[in-house]
């Protein structure tokens, strides 16, 4: 949760330290990580009458006016325009420069000085300290030079360094805002307002005031901010934020809609099914916000480097100046010291990791994948071993009829009679039975006086005969004999991990139905795709070995990579064993049954079934039925890591090379400032490349009209399940 | 001197073309409630800001040209006079650019719009908008400074010309003449706030195009013609060389 003082920048959505810049924009209290973001945010959001936004730009403009004039005359001086008879003008030009430079340094340097002062009070040195010291030294020296009538003044250096840094910060902030674009809808849940229809009038109210049963009108193009049921109108919605799949879902009266989806076509009147703050979308937003505020390991390293680099650079600059002062004139050595201070500003290093991470989190979130801890992304990129749980992860978690054994009676009759009974039940197996009957085109034998026997099964009367379906205990309760053949078959089925249901009528047992969990249609292609990415896939399950073997064979996991019959503790131990050589291991589960294992793995990935994200233990949450996204998520994690590494390499490498050049006296301060400012912008541009990662492509299996009954039902049921899951949550 | 006069005229004529964009800004800057004098001052400050940006561009361009010309230093003995190769190459490039701009003014060359309105112009536009309504007396100055960097083919053309001038001061003077040339129209635009008849604007565009074409051909000639390397001295005469 939000620790005191920790928040994210209102503009670029990166975490800011305890000393954020604070401004009131449009009546809202906003915090910014830097001056650039502060300006850019106010330009973008601030109403034109906002005084300060304009004031900041005026300062930039006037500062620009002054420093351009200074540069203009300095260029004339540098290019030896005032030679010969004109040389007597030079002292007057110097005085003119001084007159221009004084307000410019005050106007442009003010924010840097302010920042340095605030940090200095807490005994901290930041990159602004370097700028203030360097620029201050150049200015003071030049002022003395004017008084003493020395040949060289460096007002242009002082003002241009300030100008370039201010401009660089502004441009950097503009780039970062682009990065934040993806995240914006995910952070908007709390700010969103909805049009509530009450007694025929429409009032706009904040979403947190919405309660169950309220009517909310959503116009086309708007984001639906609440969960609920459509009571008027029809439209298509895009539920990508929730399901990860960007496709049109038709909605009509009675359809349930999920908060976070976008209403595309027509106006909808929606009856809210719960409080506005209790939606899955609101939880997603909270979760993203929390993730953005955490610092990844890379980031912590970078922060530490920045922390020690500033005093180091100061010392280095001082030493370089002292060294050169013995060999060159004082002003030349001063300039070299200034170059060192300016060029070693560790701005780019500080930006390398958080920017790439937040873009990555936004990119993943747009497809419904939630990152709850940025460290997990880094770990996932390095991981070589991916362990899967079976039930609910690689399988649908729903039973399917896989065998019908009968003793004399036709198998169809067994199924039809069972279906007639199970129509009245809501048991998981009942659903499988009537689905199986429906797929075979059987007409269920209508039963009446149906009643369920808890824990045993169900019985009723059909065609004047008593019919029953359930466990062997139910059959013996009824006193119905169980033929030897069926009993043996059932025993062997049970031994191999199947569930069985006995079906009897006419005072004896006539058949046995066996059930098994079905592998997900996309499981095989997903595992293949993961293998192609060099990942080792294993199966860790609490189920019987035979059941695990069957699923493993179906999805393409080798026999040696299966460990069955594991308790959650044993799963954790198995993960620990495979974590040889310090490489992180990832565990993929459904987030319900194996929460402790997901929490214990380096990367816990939940293929979301958990309805309450706050209780979720996994660091990465895929949307429901989002297993197919996993290879893409791995790709994104790797791309993010690569970007962070290239950013850091560039930032560090650049700093080192430039620093060397500056120490050797080969770099002009203005050039150093220009390169410095551009290095941050390069980091921004490199990170923005993450936005262009290809979207995940749903596997072809999902698109094909499925022959497997579970698949079609699952697709048909998905919205219902989702809706009901959210309602419960 | 004549040379700068031609640049001035080109700027003056060209500013009628600019009225579409910068003139809009000048209008938006509007009148000062404190009276006519204050309004005049407001527009004068705005145009000063713009002129500074142009001069700065000219200085940088001129210094760049000077750097290239003195660094290369490769001179070729030609027809009894030494001619700087780099200066000639710069002149050819600048001349071609200016001719291209002129043709664009005549509508003979399709403008590459994305070039002119590329990166950052939206950021600029937003910044400018917030400055327009600010009540500060310094706001028009800042506004003018930013305005000076708005992508504009005219500015590009004269910046290219400034590079080919090969000297910082000449670069500044070129851009300053151009900037001063745009003063009257812009001041009128702001002060009077009257939209010029389209026919007059069209004539202005043609005149600007002709001036730029003339300058472009002269610059090109300076690069190509063997004896014309210092031709412009003959009719400028004031260069402190």
pLDDT one-digit tens code per residue, A100-128: 889 888 888 888 888 888 888 887 777 78
Q: Is the pLDDT confidence value at A272 over 80?
A: yes
Contact: A76, B172; criterion CB under 8 Å: yes
Q: What angle do CA A102, A106, A110 make, to 5 degrees?
A: 165
CA distances, A461 to each of A169, A450, A475, A647 (Å): 80, 7, 15, 73
Q: What does the pLDDT look like over A238-271, one tens digit per residue? A: 877 777 666 778 888 888 888 888 888 888 889 8
| Mean pLDDT, range A604-610, rounded to an integer | 73
Nearest chain B residue (CA) to A53: B130
Residue whose C-alpha is closest to residue A665's, from A188, A413, A343: A343
Contact: B168, A58; criterion CB under 8 Å: no
Task: Give the whole-angstrom CA distance, residue A681 versus residue B119.
Answer: 13
**Whole-number average pLDDT of chain B:** 69
What is the helix (H) or strand (E) element at residue A169, kind and residue range? helix A155-180
Q: Which of A43, A48, A69 sits opposite B133 (nearest CB)?
A: A48
Q: How far is CA B82 from the centre of its chain?
A: 30
Q: Is the pLDDT confidence value at A639 over 90?
A: yes
**Does B129 map to a domain?**
yes
Contact: B127, A43; criterion CB under 8 Å: yes
Q: For a pLDDT cut of 70, what percent of chain A falls above it?
A: 84
Spatial neighbors of A4 by CB under 8 A, at least 6 apart, are none
Task: Compute how many other C-beta atoms are within 10 angstroms of the C-beta atom of residue B170.
Answer: 27
CATH no., domain A354-394+520-635: 3.40.50.1000
User: Measured between CA atoms, how close is A187 to chain B, in angstroms?
Assistant: 24
Q: Which one of A58, A89, A96, A100 would you mutate to disrupt binding with B, by most B Cβ within 10 Å of its Cβ?
A: A58
Contacting residues of A for B60, CB less than 8 Å apart: 71, 75
Task: Give the whole-angstrom CA distance, residue B50 versus residue B53.
Answer: 5
* Per-range mean pLDDT, top range of A590-594, A688-692, B235-239: A688-692
Contacting residues of A for B61, CB less than 8 Å apart: none
Q: Which of B56, B142, B240 sits opposite A71 (nearest CB)?
A: B56
Residue A705 confidence (pLDDT): 39
A623 touches A258 (CB < 8 A): no
Q: Is the pLDDT confidence value at A237 over 90?
A: no
Contact: A69, B52; criterion CB under 8 Å: yes
Q: Which one of A65, A170, A671, A685 would you mutate to disrupt binding with B, by most B Cβ within 10 Å of its Cβ?
A: A65
* Per-range mean pLDDT, top range of A85-94, A162-171, A299-308, A414-423: A414-423
Q: How far is CA A276 from the centre of its chain?
A: 22
User: Measured between CA atoms, how close is B214 to chain A, in angstroms?
Assistant: 28
Q: Is A606 left (phi over 0), alpha (psi -120 to 50) or beta?
A: beta
DSSP class of residue A414? H
- The pTM of this model reads 0.70
Task: Compute how many other C-beta atoms are within 10 angstroms of the C-beta atom of residue A416.
Answer: 19
B121 φ, ψ to 5°? -70, -30
Classify A407 as helix, strand or coil: coil
Contact: A53, B130; criterion CB under 8 Å: yes
Lowest mean pLDDT across A299-308, B8-17, B137-146: B8-17
User: Measured between CA atoms, how close is B12 to chain A, in angstroms?
Assistant: 23
Nearest chain B residue (CA) to A77: B168
Contact: B143, A61; criterion CB under 8 Å: yes
Q: Which one of A36, A75, A78 would you mutate to disrupt binding with B, by most B Cβ within 10 Å of its Cβ?
A: A75
Contacting residues of B for A49, CB less than 8 Å apart: 133
The answer to whether A711 is a known catalytic residue is: no
**Whole-number average pLDDT of chain A:** 79
Residue A637 confidence (pLDDT): 92
Q: What does the pLDDT look like over A547-601, one tens digit per residue? A: 788 888 888 887 778 888 787 788 888 888 887 777 888 988 876 667 778 888 8
Spatial neighbors of A409 by CB under 8 A, at least 6 apart, are A510, A511
Where does chain B have alpha helices with state H? 2-18, 24-29, 36-72, 85-105, 113-116, 121-132, 139-148, 153-165, 168-192, 198-224, 231-236
**Does B238 map to a domain?**
no
Residue A1 confidence (pLDDT): 37
Contact: A55, B136; criterion CB under 8 Å: yes
Superfamily of domain A397-518: Calcium-transporting ATPase, cytoplasmic domain N (3.40.1110.10)
User: Measured between CA atoms, how close is B113 to chain A, in angstroms?
Assistant: 23
Q: For a pLDDT cut of 90, what percent of chain A falls above it?
A: 2
Q: How far is CA B39 from the centre of its chain?
A: 25
Q: What does the pLDDT look like over A158-216, one tens digit per residue? A: 888 888 888 777 777 766 666 666 677 677 666 677 888 888 888 888 887 888 888 88
β-pairing, A385-388 vs A585-589, is: parallel
Contact: B130, A46; criterion CB under 8 Å: yes
- Of residues A294 and A359, the one with the higher pLDDT is A359
Q: How far is CA A357 from the centre of its chain?
A: 8
**Does B241 map to a domain?**
no
β-pairing, A585-589 vs A262-263, is: unpaired
Can you give the residue ranges of every domain in chain A?
A: 7-180, 190-278+699-728, 354-394+520-635, 397-518
Q: What angle do CA A379, A380, A384 make, to 5 degrees?
A: 100
Q: What does the pLDDT look like over A28-38, one tens digit per residue? A: 777 776 666 66
Contact: B53, A55; criterion CB under 8 Å: no
User: Measured between CA atoms, how close is B173 to chain A, in angstroms?
Assistant: 11
CATH no., domain A190-278+699-728: 2.70.150.10
Task: Give the whole-angstrom CA distance, residue A448 versus residue A677.
Answer: 81
Q: Which of A389, A516, A517, A602 is catalytic?
A: A389
Contact: A61, B62; criterion CB under 8 Å: no
Residues from A in contact with B at Cβ < 8 Å: 42-44, 46, 48-51, 53-55, 57-62, 64-65, 68-69, 71-72, 75-76, 78-79, 81, 86, 171, 174
Contacting residues of B for A53, CB less than 8 Å apart: 130
Task: Compute how many other C-beta atoms are within 10 angstroms of the C-beta atom of residue A435.
Answer: 20
Nearest chain A residue (CA) to B59: A72
Contact: A54, B138; criterion CB under 8 Å: no
Contact: A48, B130; criterion CB under 8 Å: yes
Q: Which one of A42, A54, A674 would you mutate to disrupt binding with B, by most B Cβ within 10 Å of its Cβ?
A: A54
Classify A390 as helix, strand or coil: helix
User: Measured between CA atoms, how close is A61 to chain B, in angstroms?
Assistant: 4
| Mean pLDDT, range B163-184, rounded to an integer | 82
Contacting residues of A for B176, CB less than 8 Å apart: none
Our count of domains for chain B comes to 1
Domain hosting B176: range is 2-232
């Amino acid at each position: 949760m939000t620790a005191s003082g920790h928040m994210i920048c209102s503009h670029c959505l990166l975490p800011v330290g305890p000393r954020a810049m604070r401004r009131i924009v449009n009546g809202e209290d906003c915090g910014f990580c830097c001056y650039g973001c502060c300006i850019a945010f106010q330009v973008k959001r601030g109403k034109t009458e906002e005084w300060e936004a304009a004031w900041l730009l005026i300062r930039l403009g006037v500062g620009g006016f002054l420093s351009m004039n200074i540069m203009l005359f300095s260029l004339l001086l540098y290019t030896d325009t005032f030679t010969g008879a004109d040389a007597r003008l030079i002292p007057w030009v110097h005085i003119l420069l001084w007159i221009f430079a004084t307000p410019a340094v005050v106007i442009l340097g003010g924010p840097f000085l302010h920042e340095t002062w605030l940090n200095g009070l807490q005994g901290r040195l930041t990159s602004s300290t370097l700028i203030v010291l360097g620029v201050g030294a150049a200015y003071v020296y030049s002022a003395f030079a004017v008084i003493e009538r020395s040949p060289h003044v460096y007002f242009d250096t002082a003002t241009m360094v300030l100008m370039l840094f201010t401009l660089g910060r502004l441009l950097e902030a503009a780039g970062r805002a682009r990065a934040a674009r993806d995240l914006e809808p995910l952070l908007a849940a709390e700010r969103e307002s909805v049009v509530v229809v009450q007694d025929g009038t429409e009032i706009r109210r904040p979403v947190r005031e919405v309660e169950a049963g309220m009517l909310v009108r959503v116009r086309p193009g708007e984001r639906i901010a609440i969960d609920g049921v459509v009571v008027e109108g029809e439209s298509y919605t895009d539920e990508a934020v929730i399901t990860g799949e960007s496709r049109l879902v038709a909605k009509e009266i009675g359809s349930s809609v999920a908060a976070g989806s976008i209403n595309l076509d027509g106006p909808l009147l929606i009856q809210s099914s719960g409080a506005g703050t209790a939606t899955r979308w609101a939880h997603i937003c909270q979760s993203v916000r929390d993730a953005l505020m955490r610092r990844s390991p890379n980031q912590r390293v970078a922060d530490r480097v920045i922390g020690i680099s500033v005093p180091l650079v100061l010392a280095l600059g001082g030493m370089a100046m002292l060294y050169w002062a013995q060999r060159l004139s004082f002003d030349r050595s001063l300039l070299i010291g200034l170059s060192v201070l300016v060029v070693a500003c560790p701005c780019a290093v500080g930006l390398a990791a958080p920017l790439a991470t937040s873009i990555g989190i936004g990119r993943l979130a747009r497809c419904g994948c939630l990152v709850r801890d940025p460290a997990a992304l880094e770990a996932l990129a390095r991981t070589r071993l991916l362990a899967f749980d079976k039930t609910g992860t690689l399988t649908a978690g729903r039973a399917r009829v896989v065998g019908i054994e009968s003793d004399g009676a036709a198998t169809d009759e067994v199924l039809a009679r069972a279906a007639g009974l199970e129509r009245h039940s809501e048991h998981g197996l009942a659903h499988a039975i009537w689905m199986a009957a429906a797929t075979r085109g059987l007409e269920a034998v209508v039963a009446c006086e149906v009643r369920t026997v808890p824990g045993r099964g169900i019985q009723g009367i059909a065609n004047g005969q008593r019919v029953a379906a359930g466990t062997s205990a139910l059959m013996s309760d009824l006193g119905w004999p169980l033929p030897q053949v069926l009993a043996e078959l059932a025993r062997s089925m049970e031994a191999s991990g199947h569930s069985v249901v006995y079906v009897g009528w006419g005072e004896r047992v006539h058949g046995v139905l066996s059930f098994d969990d079905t592998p997900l249609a996309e499981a095989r292609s997903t595992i293949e795709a993961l293998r192609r990415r060099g990942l080792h896939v294993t199966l860790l399950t609490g189920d019987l070995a035979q059941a695990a073997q069957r699923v493993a064979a179906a999805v393409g996991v080798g026999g040696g990579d299966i460990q069955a019959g594991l308790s959650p503790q044993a799963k954790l131990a198995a993960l620990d064993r495979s974590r040889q050589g310090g490489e992180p291991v990832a565990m993929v589960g459904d987030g319900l049954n194996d929460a402790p294992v997901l929490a214990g793995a380096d990367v816990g990935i939940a293929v979301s079934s958990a309805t309450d994200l706050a209780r979720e233990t996994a660091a990465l949450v895929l949307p429901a039925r989002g297993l197919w996204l996993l290879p893409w998520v791995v790709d994104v994690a790797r791309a993010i890591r690569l970007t962070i590494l290239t950013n850091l390499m560039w930032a560090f490498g650049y700093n080192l090379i430039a620093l060397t050049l500056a120490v050797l006296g080969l770099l002009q301060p203005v050039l150093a400032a220009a390169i410095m400012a551009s290095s941050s912008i390069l980091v921004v541009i490199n990170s923005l490349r993450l936005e262009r990662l290809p979207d995940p492509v749903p596997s072809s299996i999902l698109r094909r009209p499925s022959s497997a009954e579970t698949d079609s039902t699952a697709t048909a049921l998905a919205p219902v399940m989702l809706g009901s899951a959210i309602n419960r949550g | 001197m004549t040379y700068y006069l031609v640049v001035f005229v080109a700027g003056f004529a060209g500013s009628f073309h600019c009225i579409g964009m910068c003139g809009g800004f000048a209008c938006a800057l509007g009148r000062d409630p404190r009276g006519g004098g204050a309004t005049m001052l407001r527009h004068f400050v705005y145009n000063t800001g713009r002129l500074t940006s142009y001069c700065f561009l000219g200085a940088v361009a001129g210094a760049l040209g000077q750097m290239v010309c003195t660094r290369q230093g490769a001179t070729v003995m030609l027809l009894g006079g030494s001619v700087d190769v780099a200066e000639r190459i710069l002149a050819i490039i600048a001349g071609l650019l200016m001719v291209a701009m002129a043709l664009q003014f005549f509508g003979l060359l399709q403008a590459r719009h994305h070039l002119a309105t590329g990166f950052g112009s939206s950021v600029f536009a937003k910044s400018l908008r917030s400055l327009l309504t600010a009540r500060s007396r310094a706001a028009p100055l800042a506004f003018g400074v930013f305005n000076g960097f708005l992508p504009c083919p005219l500015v590009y053309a004269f910046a290219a010309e400034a590079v080919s001038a090969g000297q910082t001061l000449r670069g500044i003077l070129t851009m300053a003449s151009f900037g001063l040339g745009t003063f009257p129209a812009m001041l009128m635009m702001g002060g009077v706030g009257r939209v010029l008849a389209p026919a007059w604007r069209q004539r202005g565009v043609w005149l600007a195009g002709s001036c730029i074409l003339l300058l472009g051909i002269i610059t090109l000639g300076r690069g190509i013609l063997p004896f014309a390397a210092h031709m412009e001295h003959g009719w400028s005469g004031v260069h402190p060389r």
